[in-house]
Chains A and B, each alone.
Chain A
């Protein structure tokens, strides 16, 4: 799914006007310029996490969770600019981690990976089900 596809599906499911969504989203602080400039590129997992987290903060007004519970993700600290985004969507069960079984079992968010359309649609569904005070991730990791 492209970034534009993701944003437009989010608009539809959230009942937002699609026209001008990139400009509006940037002004509201939940979309970045790169989302608009590179809207035709496939959406990476780290960018999906960023959009979802910032949408939670800026549109849904949901406060952040303590991210220490996401420290089990081996690649969490690989990205200073997106660690919090990843932690928040993981802890809220919006996006899953991958259970890697080589070199001993560990959880891997796969920052630069891409998900298929069905998964991304499901991410949007999960995002919109979040409510203030929702509890944390219940080990929904996929294998």
Chain B
């Protein structure tokens, strides 16, 4: 392996990220089902999976939309057998096809798991890299309906378990200056796009894209930086460009350089390493074409995103051979390369952060989750990022995935679980149950949360619009865009529905009771989401409103166009469905 492949298809390039022209995608709502990871970790088995299938049927969860049964990590033999994937012969003695047949025989859909690297996160040496064709042919033979693809051991980024020095592919080197036709242009005087790169001691560093795995960075706004030099040319012609750079293999300073003039790329390769990230040297000549007038010379490295997109596209391309079989493609690169920018080109959903819990269960152990935490491992960590990502999602794009549900795990109470379910439904998130369903009975506390038809109807609404945060008690000017991690607040989310109703969610993120009772008017709601509402005028001018509390089922009527939730307990929420009446 000498480095990532050339990217010849311009549709995989950063400049084309906004276009959905790579594959013909079927508009679809977020996937719903059960995934083995949060429930059983690597300890899932054929016997356990069959038990989950039977419980889904017994509880009639399938009638509510929970249709996928997904085997996550830990189900494979730890190395290839004759070049093919094979099930762990003790955990899944009947093999994957038999498992798929069993799931299908119960009118459910079957999902599997792999990884764009050469291993799975568990360490099994069966990652799909280099085996895209073989593995997808097998997946198609096994009749899968869904595949989740992870990002461990990835060769072209410093992903989990990958070589940390892979960061050399992810960032441009530090840039001091460029030289064209004998004229030197200092990086410190050039224009930096985005917010990732910065000028430092006479050079520019961090030319590339944020690592979005951890919750430190906002997903909103330009996430990638380039260094732009404006160069005047008196006439059209070819010139030699020399770049003075210093490389490293660490987050922020890499070795891979892309050079473009306007949209045309002239260089896209690894430069020779330098002694240190501050020991600058001059690159070999890079031939570029300049036009008479002002030329924008772009010094950049978008390969972190492009390589990952390319890897997922290779899989998607092979899955296209499934013919009529409709396979949902769940991208799980943890938000590392800002998949909200490109995920829509290949996938049906994209994870936005690292896992919601690292304390998963096993048979007899519920696992543990948290309401809040410093890292990604909490309900609110995931929510806080996903809630400002609504503009990236949609029926024809795909869905932000704040990870699988942790309802039923230890460490969170039923109020938290109910709010968690409501958040995910308002945000059009995939709804993947992650508990041992043998613990659930119809009518019990967990069942009443996961089987709340009114909440699920929000997630399944055919309009397919992720709710927008239209108000927060946290002081900010743009509640729908500002990344807020202080949980001492109440958020109000609004979601337009296909029949003209509006769902409103009031979420108390804090662990204290809140009496401040924020409210919004019909006009304020339409001001924020009116463009996506079915009948904005009707909602604004309605003489009265029918309001359904989606937790209690209580229906009331009001002539007031002011909506509020009243006192909210710790971590509690209220979700209402408002029907305007003319």
CB pair A34 B359 closer than 8 Å: no
Give 18 A-B contacts (CB < 8 Å), ordered by A residue.
Answer: A26-B90, A29-B43, A32-B74, A33-B77, A33-B89, A33-B124, A34-B122, A34-B123, A46-B123, A67-B368, A77-B375, A80-B160, A80-B354, A81-B74, A83-B359, A84-B358, A87-B359, A111-B161
Known: A27-B90, A33-B89. A79 touches B411 (CB 8 A): no
Cα A63 to Cα B121 in complex, Å, equals 24
Chain A residues within 8 Å of B88, by CB = 32-33
Chain B residues within 8 Å of A81, by CB = 41-42, 73-74, 120-123, 152
CB pair A71 B375 closer than 8 Å: yes
A116 at the interface (CB under 8 A from B): no
- B residues with a Cβ closer than 8 A to A are 41-43, 73-74, 77-79, 88-91, 120-124, 152, 160-161, 214, 354-355, 358-360, 362-365, 368, 370, 373-377, 411
Q: In this complex, which of B121, B123, B354, B377 has the most chain A Cβ atoms within 10 angstroms of its Cβ?
A: B123
Kindly supply a per-residue 1/0 record for chain A positions 92-126, scoring 1 wherever the CB is within 8 Å of any chain B CB and 0 otherwise. Answer: 00000000000000000001100000000000000
| Number of A-B contacts defined by CB within 8 Å | 85
Cα A27 to Cα B46 in complex, Å, equals 12
Q: For the A-B complex with A37-B77, A66-B368 known, give 11 more contacts whose Cβ atoms are closer than 8 Å.
A: A33-B77, A33-B88, A34-B124, A57-B362, A63-B365, A67-B359, A77-B377, A78-B161, A80-B354, A80-B358, A81-B41
Known: A29-B43, A33-B88, A79-B121. A64 touches B358 (CB 8 A): no
Known: A78-B161, A81-B73, A84-B360. A33 touches B78 (CB 8 A): yes
Select which of A29, A57, A63, A79 is within 8 A of B160 by beta carbon.
A79
Minimum CB–CB distance for B24 against chain A, Å: 33
Chain B residues within 8 Å of A34, by CB = 78, 122-124
Chain B residues within 8 Å of A26, by CB = 90-91
Minimum CB–CB distance for B265 against chain A, Å: 33
CB pair A77 B358 closer than 8 Å: yes
CB pair B368 A64 closer than 8 Å: yes
A interface, size bucket = 20 to 34
Chain B binding site: helix, strand, loop or mixed by DSSP? loop
Cα A79 to Cα B355 in complex, Å, equals 10
A48-92 contacts to B (CB < 8 Å): 54, 57-58, 63-64, 66-68, 71, 76-81, 83-84, 87
Chain A residues within 8 Å of B214, by CB = 77
Chain B minimum-CB-distance residue to A78: B160
CB pair A68 B373 closer than 8 Å: yes
Minimum CB–CB distance for A25 against chain B, Å: 10
Known: A57-B365, A77-B354. A37 touches B78 (CB 8 A): yes
Cα A34 to Cα B42 in complex, Å, equals 12
Chain B residues within 8 Å of A37, by CB = 77-79
CB pair A79 B161 closer than 8 Å: yes
CB pair B79 A64 closer than 8 Å: no
CB pair B90 A33 closer than 8 Å: yes
CB pair A66 B90 closer than 8 Å: no
Chain A residues within 8 Å of B79, by CB = 37
Cα A62 to Cα B122 in complex, Å, equals 23
CB pair A67 B123 closer than 8 Å: no
Chain B residues within 8 Å of A111, by CB = 161
CB pair A80 B90 closer than 8 Å: no
Chain A minimum-CB-distance residue to B214: A77
Chain A residues within 8 Å of B41, by CB = 81, 84
Q: In this complex, which of A64, A67, A81 has the most chain B Cβ atoms within 10 angstroms of its Cβ?
A: A81
Q: Which 8 interchain pairs have the tightest Cβ spacing?
A: A83-B358, A34-B78, A81-B121, A81-B122, A26-B90, A80-B355, A84-B359, A33-B88
Kindly supply a per-residue 1/0 record for chain A positions 20-38, scoring 1 wherever the CB is within 8 Å of any chain B CB and 0 otherwise. Answer: 0001001101001110011
Chain B residues within 8 Å of A38, by CB = 78
CB pair B78 A32 closer than 8 Å: yes
Chain A residues within 8 Å of B42, by CB = 32, 81
Cα A59 to Cα B354 in complex, Å, equals 30
Select which of A46, A47, A64 is within 8 A of B359 by beta carbon.
A64
Chain A residues within 8 Å of B161, by CB = 78-79, 111-112
Chain A residues within 8 Å of B373, by CB = 68
Chain A residues within 8 Å of B363, by CB = 29
Chain A residues within 8 Å of B160, by CB = 78-80
Chain A residues within 8 Å of B374, by CB = 71
Minimum CB–CB distance for A70 against chain B, Å: 10
Cα A64 to Cα B77 in complex, Å, equals 27
Chain A residues within 8 Å of B90, by CB = 23, 26-27, 33
Chain A minimum-CB-distance residue to B364: A57
Chain A minimum-CB-distance residue to B370: A68
Minimum CB–CB distance for A48 against chain B, Å: 13
Known: A34-B78, A37-B78. A29 touches B362 (CB 8 A): yes
Minimum CB–CB distance for A99 against chain B, Å: 20
Chain B residues within 8 Å of A83, by CB = 358-359
Minimum CB–CB distance for A14 against chain B, Å: 20
Cα A121 to Cα B161 in complex, Å, equals 26
Minimum CB–CB distance for A49 against chain B, Å: 12
Chain A residues within 8 Å of B77, by CB = 33, 37
Minimum CB–CB distance for A43 against chain B, Å: 12
Chain A residues within 8 Å of B74, by CB = 32, 81
Cα A58 to Cα B91 in complex, Å, equals 15
Cα A61 to Cα B514 in complex, Å, equals 41
Chain A residues within 8 Å of B120, by CB = 81
Minimum CB–CB distance for A37 against chain B, Å: 5
Minimum CB–CB distance for A91 against chain B, Å: 12
Chain A minimum-CB-distance residue to B161: A79
Chain A residues within 8 Å of B43, by CB = 29, 54
Minimum CB–CB distance for B254 against chain A, Å: 19
Cα A66 to Cα B364 in complex, Å, equals 17
Chain B minimum-CB-distance residue to A70: B358
Cα A84 to Cα B374 in complex, Å, equals 16
Chain B residues within 8 Å of A27, by CB = 90
